[in-house]
Amino acid sequence: MIAKSKKGVHYAWFVLLGVAIMMGFARGGLNNATGLFLTPVSDDLGMSLSSLSLYVSIMSIVTMIFLPFAGKLIAKADIRIILIVGVIFHSGAFALMGFLNSVWGWYLLAVPCAIGYVIVAQISGPVIINNWFKKSKGLALGIMMATVGAFGAFISPWIGNLIANEGWRTTYTTSGLVLGAGCIVVILLFIRFAPGNKGAYGADEVLEDTAANATNKETYKGIASSIAKKSPAFYALMAFFFFLTSVAAFAQHVPTFAITKGFDTAFGGTLMGLFMVGLLIGSLTFGFLADKIGAKGTTFVALASGLVTFVLFLLFGEVKPMIMIAAVIFGFLSSSIGTLGPLLTISLFGNKNYADIYATASVGLAVAGIVALPLYSVIKDLTNSYNIVLIAIIVMIVISMFLVTVAFKQKENLVKQGHWN
């Protein structure tokens, strides 16, 4: 029986272990390290920061195009084959960047890198967890993102020091191959797409009595994607994803921000390690809070922490202890994307067409990557400062609070109109 081990531990927890480690390597390791390479590569090859960081925007364009298909793809094909192909695309492209000499190489490799990232580190984790957990879903998502933070807390300083000691070329290739191999191992050992007739975690408990059975049926209710994707609530959610991701995108600029304040590349790696510690803490906190007070209330806690973060960056960026504290709180905020993004989607639209709705709304994440990252770079190149960026981010956090309020108000209208079934 695949759902439970011989000792009675539900197999869902082993699936979660595999998903969490995979996400830790791909998202906490490779993706989080992107910003560490920008300044060393641009300085070595004589590129402007804005021209190099444009490849991240190309990744976001590819992500935006591919996202609507990704949810359907992982639901129809063998999940392990799809994930392994995704790892090869993502980690392989990362490794090949160590051999590049022209910015056009980064632009070309951005395509497979983005496709692989969407599959491995963005869509598959939340969908697989949603399939395997019928209770403690917030906790499971929190553990997944906490693992991303835990892995990143060790991998980011390792990569930062490797760049400083061995150079960016060796670091690109080594990290891509090592972390990609780790992903493939855990995919083969642990990951399965869904429990099928074996039962998800918590499903047996909700079948014990009639009242609970009614709750189980309610679990599969929601708003049809055809209606959801035409609603103001959906567009508010997509806009929220855009602004929150634009805020979190500043993580790629934290090492460069530190350099503008007089710190070195190794300290940039330390900051990203602290960022990942915050990600770990936030993931567990937000997962727990979401199960206790709901996705809406937890989102406001996250956004409030964001205001604290960027006030610290803006006012105390040259004070080493303060910028370190800000990095931790920033990670705390950024963890909310991986945890609260899926939970907000379920809270607003239910489980009925969750994968399709979440994948489409996530286009907002991709658009943010297209706009925010290069815009931050251009502003920095023009002003030699991130102050304008930091002020803009504070404004975006306030707008995000408004959008969440609007989304839940519009959900009430959809329910009143009888669309929740």
Going from N- to C-terminal start, the domains of the chain cover 11-193+225-416
Contact 157, 11 (CB under 8 A): no
Confidence of residue 377 (pLDDT cuts 50, 70, 90): confident
Average pLDDT score over residue span 171-190: 94
CATH number for the segment(s) 11-193+225-416: 1.20.1250.20
> What is the pLDDT of the chain when averaged over all its residues?
84
Average pLDDT score over residue span 133-156: 81
- Out of 152-166, 230-244, 343-357, 382-396, pick the least confident: 343-357
Residues 361 and 358: their CA atoms lie apart, in Å, by 5
Q: Pull the structure tokens for residue 226.
A: 């055809």
Confidence of residue 5 (pLDDT cuts 50, 70, 90): very low
Percentage of the chain with pLDDT > 90?
34
Q: Which of 31, 35, 28 is nearest to 52 (CA)?
A: 35
Average pLDDT score over residue span 301-312: 92
Query: What is the model's pLDDT at position 398?
Result: 95
Q: 10 Å Cβ neighbour count for 332?
A: 26
Sign of CA dihedral 177, 271, 239, 374: negative
Distances (CA, A) of 263 to 107, 267, 320, 324: 29, 6, 9, 12
Contacts of residue 66, Cβ cutoff 8 Å, sequence gap at least 6: 114, 115, 118
Query: Does position 197 have pLDDT exceeding 70, yes or no?
Result: no
Sign of CA dihedral 410, 411, 416, 421: positive
Contact 124, 104 (CB under 8 A): no
Average pLDDT score over residue span 222-243: 88
Residues 243 and 247: their CA atoms lie apart, in Å, by 6
Q: ∠ at Cα 284 (281, 285), nearest 5°? A: 80
Residues 386 and 383: their CA atoms lie apart, in Å, by 8
Contact 72, 49 (CB under 8 A): no
Percentage of the chain with pLDDT > 70?
91
Query: What is the model's pLDDT at position 361?
Result: 84
Helix (H, G, I), strand (E, B) or coil at 10: strand
Q: Pull the structure tokens for residue 334.
A: 């950024």
From start to end of 49-141, where are the E strands?
Answer: none
DSSP state of 118: I
